[in-house]
Amino acid sequence: MSTSIPYHYLRVSISRQCLEVFPGRNSNEKKEPLAIYKISSSRFGLGTEAGSLCTPLGSFVIEEKIGDHAPERMIFEARKPIGIIANLEGEEDYVLTRILWLSGLEPENANTRDRYIYIHGTNQENLLGSPASHGCIRLANTAMVELFNIVQEGDLVEIIAS
């Protein structure tokens, strides 16, 4: 992970099913978002329990960026590209395109990295805007490439219920 001072602040709203990217360290700087993306959070609700498939709330850091230069819709398994480009359909919950691996910064969400909670592209773009994931934050694949190119390791992420 980079030790540089975070340049961006990401705020994920579960109720609005969106991710906003702000310049600077945090939302207290009252700046306009650089970008807003439609997301899908967990269809199983909110929580931090291991194995729950829930999306955790709180403060996080982008611990690791994975997949730079992979083609859009590349399927990742165990954070490795497997050489298959996914169709935008089907019931399978693929991790596609790029991965931003999150680490929790609070005692309640300290297990986030061990739970493999990411921000990643999806093959189920038609479900964006509604809870549909298995705990991760899903984005459209084009949006995932754009976001990946904006943020850096060490940037702060806040996932809020409202």
Residue 123 in domain: yes
Domain count, the chain: 1
Residue 2 in domain: no
pTM for this model (two decimals):
0.93
Residue 1 in domain: no
Query: Domain with 104 in it: what CATH number?
Result: 2.40.440.10
Closest CA to 12 of 141, 106, 102: 102
Residue 51 in domain: yes
Residue 3 in domain: no
Q: Which domain holds residue 49?
A: 8-160
pLDDT in tens, 38-62: 999 999 999 999 999 999 999 999 9
pLDDT in tens, 104-139: 999 999 999 999 999 999 999 999 999 999 999 999
